[in-house]
């Protein structure tokens, strides 16, 4: 079997591959463009990459014998996972391999900001001796605001506590019990901004987090705050950061990641002496590189030699026959999780997945992981996958349970998901019509419904009055929004009804505002599945 190592990977990982008698390992000595890769991959059974090589759809189509792509690192943005999945190619990554390295880099940057070490170093190299120009500040007694308390944020918090810092943490997905165990104070974003001497971000780049540290956020921060980003470029709006530094509102920044990488040679950040910059070094330690290199090599060996799947982002760890049996439930479970993520509060203590009827005979672990993947996508972004999702749940303090239920229902097989925290509970259940070909959501917060789990849903609570269905349909037509299907569930005649519409497009603000003006309609929500 032919293995192509496209990017620099730890020699220990390469050596593991080379020790396999079945493997013929080729190592590229420089970055190759897409056109250069095409003729090289035609006979390859496996590709090993880091972040430089782009495994595009064209590359995947050219690799007719390709069975697995191994990413030595966490993110798989440089791999077309959808194209790989369509071709039946497994994509693997190495979750958790750079946690300590990134946490240590963050804390190193924190200390460098506090004591102005890089600036003093450059002054000394220039032949100067200017002690007064580089007066710093102690970390002891200062307040560190951590935005995102996952694996890396947690490690940063522990190091800050060891230095006698007060630690505030904001993570809308963090369970209160997890924060209590870490002995950090949970705070809202505005509190983080107002009280923190240093603010560090440790979140994935999502629609929610992109540009969240912007001009409005900087204006709310304590004057003279120092900010750090060793997570993902784009979380900090760089133009606004530059303005805030020039005005003195932000005293300094330490950045390892950027909106564009590498940043242009004439980027204004490079000219600001208050800014410490490193070239995306979060995972650049020998230990981290050995960890991810060995881990990706072991995963590829397990798959190609032994047929075992681990660390896959697009396939649960199942043999082919079992995978075909559970595949419909993987899709349904992910949709139920995604639905509840948009209806329930962000912070939850417990998630329970119940399997009933024929579903109780299936392997529950991959299905539960699918539910979690849908539920935590908004917390973890594109890095959430079947492999790391339980680790993410654990880091957020979310207790996950799978149970086989003997509850009697009208269905021969079903899946029921409940999320709860502080006495609040949200739930959804699904089943299949026509031999698992047509999934349906059949229960929502204990109300019977029949919802096709795809596309855009509009949910509302309304009074059960004559003509309200026609009224809603007229509004939709007025605003050019087409209704694909509708589900109505009322408690009593003339009482409260739950109305769910499958829509062909996302309704605009004007339509939502007009709907909510009706005194008999409330709790209007848009959900994207």
CATH at 294: 3.40.50.720
Task: Note down the domain range covering 475.
Answer: 455-529
Distance CA 253, CA 227 (A): 5
Identify the burial level of 47 via C-beta atoms within 10 angstroms of its C-beta, where 0-12 means exposed, 13-18 middle and 19 or more buried. Answer: buried
**Claim to verify: residue 103 and residue 191 sit in the same structural domain:** yes
Q: Residue 120's pLDDT is what?
A: 93
- Tokens representing 348? 């939850």
Is residue 267 flagged as an active site residue? no
Tens digit of pLDDT at every position of the chain (529 positions): 999 999 999 999 999 999 999 999 999 989 899 999 999 999 999 999 988 899 999 999 999 999 999 999 877 879 998 888 777 788 998 877 788 999 999 999 999 999 999 999 999 999 999 998 999 999 999 999 999 998 899 999 999 999 999 999 999 888 777 777 888 999 999 999 999 999 999 988 888 899 999 999 999 999 999 999 999 999 999 999 999 999 999 999 999 999 998 999 999 999 999 999 999 998 888 888 888 899 999 999 988 988 777 778 876 656 556 777 888 999 999 999 999 999 998 888 999 999 999 999 888 988 998 999 999 988 777 667 776 788 788 888 899 999 998 888 888 899 999 999 888 899 999 999 877 789 999 999 988 999 999 999 999 998 988 888 898 999 999 999 999 999 888 888 888 889 999 999 999 999 999 998 999 999 999 999 9
**Claim to verify: residue 243 and residue 355 sit in the same structural domain:** no
**Claim to verify: residue 328 and residue 445 sit in the same structural domain:** yes
**Claim to verify: residue 140 and residue 217 sit in the same structural domain:** yes
**Claim to verify: residue 482 and residue 407 sit in the same structural domain:** no
Which of 387, 417, 452 is where one domain is finished? 452
Q: If DSSP codes are grouped into helix, strand and coil, which group holds residue 348?
A: coil
198-201/225-229 β-pairing? parallel
Alpha-carbon distance values, 264 to 238, 267, 270, 395 (Å) = 13, 5, 9, 36
Q: What is the DSSP letter of 21?
A: T
- Tokens representing 491? 């408690």
**Claim to verify: residue 180 and residue 32 sit in the same structural domain:** no
Which of 452, 469, 494 is where one domain is finished? 452
Q: What CATH number did the domain enclosing 520 receive?
A: 3.30.70.260
- Tokens representing 117? 């070490």
Q: Residue 75's pLDDT is what?
A: 73
Q: Give the total number of structural domains in the chain.
A: 4
Q: Which of 226, 280, 273, 279 has the alpha carbon at shortest distance from 249?
A: 226
- Tokens representing 231? 């997570």
H or E stretch at 218: helix 215-220
Which of 426, 452, 478 is where one domain is finished? 452
**Claim to verify: residue 376 and residue 500 sit in the same structural domain:** no
- HSE at residue 122, side-chain half, CA atoms within 13 A, is 9
Q: What is the DSSP letter of 313?
A: S
The residue from 232, 369, 416, 443 that is catalytic is 232
In terms of residues, how long is the chain? 529
46-49/68-71 β-pairing? parallel
**Claim to verify: residue 354 and residue 409 sit in the same structural domain:** yes
**Claim to verify: residue 157 and residue 254 sit in the same structural domain:** yes
Q: Which of 337, 335, 374 has the alpha carbon at shortest distance from 353?
A: 337
Residue 182's contacts (CB-CB under 8 Å, 6 or more residues apart) are 149, 154, 157, 158, 169
Cis peptide before 403 (omega within 30 of 0): no
- Can you spell out the DSSP letters for 132-191? GGG-----TT-EEEEE--SHHHHHHHHHHHHTT-EEEEE-TT--HHHHHHHT-EE--HHH
Q: Residue 26's pLDDT is what?
A: 95
Q: If DSSP codes are grouped into helix, strand and coil, which group holds residue 507?
A: coil
Q: What CATH number did the domain enclosing 351 receive?
A: 3.30.1330.90
Confirm if 259 and 229 have CB atoms less than 8 A apart.
Answer: no
**Claim to verify: residue 61 and residue 135 sit in the same structural domain:** no
Is residue 232 flagged as an active site residue? yes
The residue from 82, 208, 261, 514 that is catalytic is 261
Residue 29's contacts (CB-CB under 8 Å, 6 or more residues apart) are none
Is residue 349 flagged as an active site residue? no
What radius of gyration do the chain's Cα atoms show? 26
Alpha-carbon distance values, 80 to 77, 101, 113 (Å) = 7, 27, 38
Distance CA 75, CA 383 (A): 6
**Claim to verify: residue 74 and residue 121 sit in the same structural domain:** no
**Claim to verify: residue 294 and residue 409 sit in the same structural domain:** no
């Amino acid at each position: 079997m032919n293995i192509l190592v496209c990017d620099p990977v730890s020699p220990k990982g390469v050596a593991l591959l080379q020790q396999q008698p079945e493997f013929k390992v080729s190592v590229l000595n420089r970055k190759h463009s897409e056109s250069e890769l095409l003729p090289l991959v035609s006979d390859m059974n496996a590709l090993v990459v880091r972040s430089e090589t782009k495994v595009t759809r064209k590359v995947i189509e050219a690799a007719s014998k390709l069975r697995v792509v191994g990413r030595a690192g966490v993110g798989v943005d440089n791999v077309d996972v959808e194209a790989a999945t369509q071709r039946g190619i497994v994509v693997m990554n190495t979750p958790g391999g750079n946690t300590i390295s990134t946490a240590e880099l963050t804390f190193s940057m924190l200390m460098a900001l506090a004591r102005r070490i890089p600036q003093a170093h450059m002054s000394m190299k220039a032949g100067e001796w200017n002690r007064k120009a580089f007066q710093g500040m102690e970390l002891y007694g200062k307040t560190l605001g951590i935005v995102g308390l996952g694996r890396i944020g947690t490690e940063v918090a522990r190091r800050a506590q060891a230095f006698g810092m007060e630690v505030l943490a904001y993570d809308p997905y963090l369970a209160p019990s997890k924060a209590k165990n870490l002995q950090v104070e949970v705070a809202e974003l505005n509190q983080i901004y107002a009280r923190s001497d240093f603010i560090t971000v440790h979140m994935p780049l999502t629609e929610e987090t992109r540009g969240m540290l912007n001009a409005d956020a900087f204006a709310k921060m304590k004057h003279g705050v120092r900010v750090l980003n060793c997570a993902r470029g784009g979380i900090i709006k760089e133009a606004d950061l530059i303005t805030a530094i020039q005005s003195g509102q932000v005293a300094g920044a330490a950045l390892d990641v950027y909106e564009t990488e590498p940043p242009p040679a004439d980027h204004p950040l490079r000219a600001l002496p208050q800014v410490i910059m490193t070239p995306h070094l979060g995972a650049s330690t020998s230990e981290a590189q050995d960890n991810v290199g060995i881990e990706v090599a072991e995963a590829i060996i397990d798959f190609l030699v032994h047929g075992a799947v681990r660390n896959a982002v697009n396939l649960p760890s199942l043999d082919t026959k079992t995978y075909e049996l559970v595949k419909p439930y993987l899709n349904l479970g992910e949709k139920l999780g995604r639905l509840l993520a948009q209806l329930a509060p962000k912070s939850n203590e417990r998630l329970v997945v119940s399997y009933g009827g024929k579903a109780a005979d299936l392997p529950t672990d991959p299905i539960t992981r699918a539910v979690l993947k849908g539920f935590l996508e908004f917390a973890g972004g594109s890095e959430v996958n079947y492999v790391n999702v339980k680790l993410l749940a654990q880091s957020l303090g979310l207790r996950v349970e799978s149970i086989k239920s003997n509850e009697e229902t009208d269905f021969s097989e079903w899946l029921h998901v409940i999320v709860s925290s502080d006495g609040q509970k949200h739930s959804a259940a699904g089943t299949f019509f026509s031999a698992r070909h047509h999934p349906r959501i059949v229960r929502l917060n204990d109300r019977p419904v029949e919802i096709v789990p795809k596309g855009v849903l509009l949910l509302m609570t309304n009074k059960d009055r004559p003509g309200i269905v026609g009224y809603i349909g007229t509004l939709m037509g007025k605003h050019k929004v087409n209704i694909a299907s509708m589900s109505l569930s009322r408690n009593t005649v003339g009482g409260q009804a739950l109305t769910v519409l499958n829509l062909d497009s996302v309704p605009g603000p004007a339509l939502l505002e007009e709907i909510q003006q009706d005194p008999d309609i409330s709790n209007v929500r848009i959900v994207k599945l």
